[in-house]
A and B are shown apart, each in its own frame.
Chain A
Amino acid sequence: MTPDVFLFWFLALTTVLAALGVIISANPIYSVLSLVMTMVGVAAIFVTLGAYFLAGVQLIVYAGAVLVLFVMVLMLFDLKHEIHAFTRGPVTGAIKIAAVGLLGGMIVGAIALSANSLMKTENNGIQTVIEGDSTKALGKLLFSQYLFGFEALGVLLLVVAVGAVALARAKGGTHAQH
């Protein structure tokens, strides 16, 4: 077993277990901490795929910013215990789980069935492995072909900043009475 293979299985196992932790733990604080674990695992998987810069961005944006926001919100709300963590009714619950299982099975089956054609594309690919300066190539592509999307995202972020502030701003703290 080569180190790369070991790393993949280790990371895949950790990530999936952490993702299960997100949906299973009844306390939202543990959910969000499991989600942090998942994000770190996904970042590590990006590294095994050679996307170093994206792994860094994943950590900075998701683990460092978005999830800090989640943790802070949960702490502000001070949700001690959750009475209705899951949806009620065993029948609907079973149907929902069955639906998820069906979807998962379908996706995995589709991947398994198309494995041959995927392998073919892989061999036909222009270059199977992107090595070295993938960050610079990323930057160049971002500023040539995808410039419009990039500027549009700038505008989107501006709108979100304005909107989120307008939504969240009110007099008093989190527990203001109305």
Chain B
Amino acid sequence: MPLGGVLFIVVFLIAFGCLMLWLASKLGTQKIADPVKYQSYECGIPVQEKKDTKISVKFYLTAILFIIFDIEIIFMYPWATTFKDSLAAGQGLYVLLSMGAFLLIFIFGLFWEVKSKALEWD
């Protein structure tokens, strides 16, 4: 049963990773306490504390568009597996056209996103 195998290897990997980290911490050289060493690494200049780092909302937009298009792509998978079977069953044109309509919506969405400059990074 594949699920058992997957669970087994996940548990094994976690154990392996933890063991390695533990081993590395035991074998590692002695710590030399120095408060500066444990600060965030910002290329040597003193750490700057700004209340809010402005992060572009583009990252978030990309993620939203990713969800939408990802689902549309997932919808194509069952279609792709059954396409040859449908052809053999003589329903080829029907399935092709119904997917064609879906693809048209997809293309229109992609076209709109490009046109509306939602995908522009500057």
Contacts and interface: CB of A to CB of B under 8 A. Distances in A.
A touches B (Cβ under 8 A): yes
Interface of A: 3, 7, 10, 44, 47-48, 53, 57, 60-61, 64-66, 68-69, 72-73, 75-76, 78, 135-136, 138-140, 142-143, 147, 150-151, 153-155, 157-158, 160-162, 164-165, 168-170, 172-176
A159 to B, nearest CB: 9
A42 to B, nearest CB: 13
A154 B60 contact: no
Interface stretch (B14-22, B30-38, B80-88): B80-88
Interface of B: 1-4, 7, 52-57, 59-61, 63-72, 74-75, 77-79, 81-82, 85-86, 95, 98-99, 101-102, 105-106, 108-109, 112-113, 116, 118
A78 B57 contact: no
B89 to A, nearest CB: 9
A95 B16 CA distance: 46
A136 B109 CA distance: 28
Q: Specify the main secondary structure of chain B where it touches its partner.
A: helix
Contact of B82 (A47, A64, A69, A143): A143
A74 B54 CA distance: 14
Contact of A157 (B2, B72, B79, B85): B72
Contacts of A174: 54-55, 57, 60
Given A143-B98, A164-B64, A168-B57, 11 more contacts: A10-B7, A61-B70, A69-B66, A72-B63, A136-B81, A140-B85, A151-B101, A158-B105, A169-B61, A173-B56, A175-B52
